Structures are given as C-alpha cells and as structure tokens.
Amino acid sequence: MAGMIVVGYSSGSFGRTCLEHGIDEARRRGTDLLVINAVSEARGQRYAEADEIVQIQERLSSSGVKFRITQPIGTTPAEELLNAMDDPEAELLIIGMRRRTQVGKLLLGSTSQYLLVECRKPVLVVKPEP
C-alpha cells in the first residue's frame, strides 16, 4: 500500500460527503481508501444498510481508487478511527461534523472534537453543502 486515506462513514449526507472527499484525496495522493462504517447509535447515527453498502461499493469501484470497507462492532467510532490512523500507511482522516447545541455537546460529548484533539495525523472535517 502506498498510503491510505481513512474515512469515517455514517449513513446519510454527511457520510456521502466524507466519501466523496475521501475519493478526491485518494486520487490526488495516489493512495488507497479505507472506509470505516463506525457510528454512535447513542447519538442517533446509523450504520449503512446493505443496499447503501452496495451503492458505496459501486461508487468506489467506479472511482478507480483501491478501497476497503469495514463495519466494526463493539468499539466506539473514535477508537476504531484512531486505531486505523495508527497504521503507518494512514495519512489523513476524513470525518463529518454536525452542529449541535452547547447542551447537546455537554451531555453527549463530541466524537469529532475528540478525534480532532487525539488524532496524531491530519484530520479533514467536512460537511454537506446546504
């Protein structure tokens, strides 16, 4: 592997935006792409369903980028993404960030904020266009 871009994927527009940015970065850098379907169900996120996984695979296959998709169960999204970024080949983490109220941040914490602080490598935070 000549390098790797790691994408934190969750179902919906944030996940699709992360995926597209991941494809662009992998093409630009000539690297592979690791898509991790790691979500926090406690925060209302949901795993991509089988039909959505098929769509993701089709999109990635048509992009020409070498890829892998994983769906870990039993770890938190932050743990899984940070573990992937510990790989020496990992160059960049791409995540989405949702806007939440101050009370929401206090009660639920912020996986994105945690990743920004804890990840030792560059992190690209994206959001869908309005």
Domain extents for the chain?
Answer: 4-126
pTM (2 decimals)? 0.86
pLDDT in tens, the chain (130 residues): 579 999 999 888 888 999 999 999 999 999 999 999 876 555 455 566 778 888 999 999 999 999 999 988 778 889 999 999 999 999 999 998 766 556 555 444 578 888 889 999 999 999 888 7
Q: Bridge-partner residues for 126, per DSSP?
A: 96
Asked if 82 and 8 touch (Cβ cutoff 8 Å), the reply is no
Task: Calculate the alpha carbon distances from 45 to 67, 71, 81 in Å.
Answer: 23, 14, 16
- ∠ at Cα 8 (32, 54), nearest 5°? 75
DSSP H helices in 30-87: 50-63, 77-85
Given CATH 3.40.50.620, say whether it is the number of domain 4-126. Answer: yes
Enter the tokens of residue 106: 């206090």
Asked if 93 and 122 touch (Cβ cutoff 8 Å), the reply is yes
